[in-house]
Amino acid sequence: MKILLVSATEAELEPFETIWFRKNQVDRLVSGVGMVATAHSLTRELQSKSYDLAINIGLAGSFDRTFKLGEVVRVVEDIFSELGAEDGENILSLKEMGLPGTDILLNLDETMNPHVNKFRKVRGITVNTVHGNEQSIETIKKRLHPQVETMEGAAFFYVCGKEGVSSLQLRAISNYVEKRNREAWDIPLALANLKTAVTDLLNIL
């Protein structure tokens, strides 16, 4: 199987540079941070090479306190949470505005391999600005009921869907979404658990 690992930063992909996967050919793509960079980098890669599966890996903030820091979860629904229009205190979706397109992406192209079922399924939002204000956090929780947030996930799903490539999004929880508090984050644990989970998966797919 030919697999593409996609992540926003070098730090998230670096642990896989020296690993040789006996069963699969694994390429790596550092897309850059954010939706625009991800869409550009991933589109260029998928139009120049053919892959059986693309896997977006990285860190995520969790709105759900039942997740432990370091837990690796599987995003199956992702939302462009800022795509639309303000109408007073409400946010109108593209559909409600009478425009084509969608702000909610269900991963209909997800690989059906049973080994991915060990990861808890979650609903994510993709944002340009990660939440760190108590009022905005409560607002987004009431509006979309997200469990995690990233800055690339929905863009990854969008491009994979347009290019017809099976996809999977795995994220390790590095922090809880709250008023910004870097001291409460555990990036080393999240990266270590992500490496273990993805390595194990790639060795059995």
CATH number, domain at 163? 3.40.50.1580
Tens-digit pLDDT profile for residues 73-112? 999 999 999 999 999 888 898 989 989 888 999 987 777 7
Please report the pLDDT score of residue 49 as a whole number. Answer: 96
Residue pair 155/127 in contact by the 8 Å Cβ criterion? no
- Domain residues for 38? 2-204
Cβ neighbours around 105 below 10 Å, total? 22
The stretch 109-128 carries a mean pLDDT of 90
Proportion of the chain in helix, strand, coil states, percent, rounded to 5? 35, 30, 35
Tens-digit pLDDT profile for residues 23-48? 889 999 999 999 999 999 999 999 99
Rounded CA-CA distance 205/189 in Å is 24
Residue pair 56/167 in contact by the 8 Å Cβ criterion? yes
Q: Residue 24 to residues 7, 116, 176: CA-CA distances in angstroms?
A: 18, 16, 34
Q: Residue 111 to residues 7, 131, 156: CA-CA distances in angstroms?
A: 18, 30, 14
**What pairing do the DSSP bridges indicate for beta strands 53-62 and 72-80?**
unpaired
14-28, 34-48, 137-151 — which is least confidently predicted? 14-28
Domain count, the chain: 1
